[in-house]
Copies of this chain bind each other. A is one copy, B any other.
Amino acid sequence: MSFDVLQDKIRAMKNPTVAGLDARIEYVPAHIREKAFAEFGPGRKGAAEAIWQFNVGLIDALCDIVPAVKPQAAYYENLGWQGMEVLERTIQYAKTKGLFVIADIKRGDIGSTASAYAEGWLSGTKINGETFKAFDADCVTLSGYMGSDSIKPFLDAARIENKCVFVLVKTSNPGSGELQDIVAGERLVYQIMGDLNERIAAGTEGKYGYSIAGAVTGATYPSDIRALRKRLQKTFFLVPGYGAQGGTAEDVQFAFDKYGHGAIVNSSRGIMCAWQKTRRDGLDFADAARHAAITMRDDIQKFVTIV
* Set of chain B residues within 8 Å of A47, measured between Cβ atoms: 125, 127, 132
Whether B83 contacts A134 by the Cβ 8 Å rule is: yes
Stoichiometry (number of copies): 2
Closest B residue to A196 by beta carbon equals B178
Which residues of A in the span 71-86 have a Cβ within 8 Å of any Cβ on B?
A: 72, 74-75, 77-85
Question: A143 in the interface, Cβ–Cβ < 8 Å?
Answer: yes
Q: List 29 A-B contacts (CB under 8 A).
A: A24-B112, A43-B127, A44-B125, A47-B127, A72-B109, A74-B114, A74-B120, A77-B84, A77-B116, A77-B120, A77-B121, A78-B134, A80-B88, A80-B120, A80-B134, A81-B81, A81-B84, A81-B134, A83-B134, A106-B109, A108-B108, A108-B145, A146-B179, A147-B177, A149-B174, A179-B189, A183-B185, A184-B184, A189-B189
Residue numbers of A with Cβ under 8 A of B are 22, 24-25, 37, 42-44, 46-47, 72, 74-75, 77-85, 87-88, 106-114, 116-117, 119-121, 125, 127-128, 130, 132-135, 143-150, 168, 171, 173-180, 182-185, 189, 192-193, 196
